[in-house]
Amino acid sequence: MLNKFSKLALGFALALAIAGPAAAEIREQTIKFAAANNKGHPQVTGMEKFAELVDQKSGGKIEVKLFPGGTLGGDVQTVSALQGGVIEMTVLNAGILAGNVKQFGAVDLPFLFNSGEEADKVMDGPFGTSLMELLPDTGLVGLAYWELGFRNLTNNRHPVTKLEDIKGLKIRTIQSPIPIELFNALGANAVPLPYTELYTALETGTVDGQENPAANIVNAKFYEVQKYMTVTRHQYNPQIVLISKKFWDGLSDEEKAVLQSAAAEARDFQRKVSREKDTAALEEIRQTGMEVTELSPEETQRLRDAVKPMIEKFSAEIGTETVTALFKEIGAVRGQ
């Protein structure tokens, strides 16, 4: 018969047996998390929040080391490193993945969303989930959608107040088919380049201009090498937090849950920071002396009309089913 102390000891042993395996499932390890933007950018602020949350949720066992500023390479190079298991994580514009999964090209289509909140509902809903489900076959796993925001045009030659002003400008775009064709359709000469090479390309005149959200223009100090900005809001970039499938498959369920929940919590924080920064950055750009032009509704409509043929072309390439599903979900969000 067990005495009182033996019963206590047995109870303690049983408690350890129950808690022990679960606690032991989170192992000490380090995750390399790379991105193209510099410290201070909302993308990196989100990464910092994610690292802090992972530390908390793992009891200090999982350390997330951040590599911002393209120190481990440009976006396309980093995706390859994730597929090879050399780097564990990255965050980048979701549309860049069109080179891996053509359906991701849908989120790069111009003039899709009216607001960031509208984009949130679509990307966090069935449509965004359906895209993520296509990634594991390419060696990638999606954890959450963050935000880069609405892109605007800058250049060093003249103010852009109407469609015709874009003609002939050499504009750097991201290395993705839709942005390239978008600016060619507007009459520019699109020049795809890694983000890490952009400042130098602007400084040396290799390109006349570029297109990015206001926060990027401030963070990368493009105002030092650009004179004119036009608020075009021609494209909204959801970003996607990616993890290497090779690394992910080696994690326990508890470790996966830590990373998944941290990515979702950091998402809400990052989007809030991104939107606050966008408003503040536009004012900061004005204060730098850059000339900022707001397009009239009529000129915005002319830009929309100019890119309609390329939307139809890419809708066929992306897959009519995918594009139809996207527009259906945007309609549902708008209550149409």
pLDDT band at 258 (very low <50, low <70, confident <90, very high): very high
pLDDT band at 177 (very low <50, low <70, confident <90, very high): confident
Count the neighbouring beta carbons within 10 Å of the beta carbon of residue 309. 11
CATH code of residue 148: 3.40.190.170
Does residue 54 sit within a domain?
Answer: yes
pLDDT band at 24 (very low <50, low <70, confident <90, very high): low
Does residue 6 sit within a domain?
Answer: no
Does residue 3 sit within a domain?
Answer: no
Tens-place pLDDT, residues 79-91: 999 999 999 999 9
Q: Which residues contact 308 (CB under 8 A, 6 or more apart)?
A: none
Nearest to 92 by CA among 144, 152, 50: 144
pLDDT band at 15 (very low <50, low <70, confident <90, very high): very low
Helix (H), strand (E), coil (C) string for 113-156: CCCHHHHHHHHCCHHHHHHHCCCHHHCEEEEEEEEEEEEEEEEC
**What are the tokens at 240?**
């996607």
For the chain, the domain total comes to 1
pLDDT above 90: percentage of residues in the chain: 89
Tens-place pLDDT, residues 31-62: 999 999 999 999 999 999 999 999 999 999 99
Q: What is the pLDDT of residue 25?
A: 86
Does residue 14 sit within a domain?
Answer: no
The pLDDT of residue 268 is above 60: yes
pLDDT band at 21 (very low <50, low <70, confident <90, very high): very low
**What are the tokens at 236?**
């909204």
Q: Any idea which of 18-27, 120-129, 145-154, 300-309 has the lowest mean pLDDT? A: 18-27
Q: What is the pLDDT of residue 97?
A: 95
pLDDT band at 172 (very low <50, low <70, confident <90, very high): very high
Domain ranges, residue 198 = 27-333
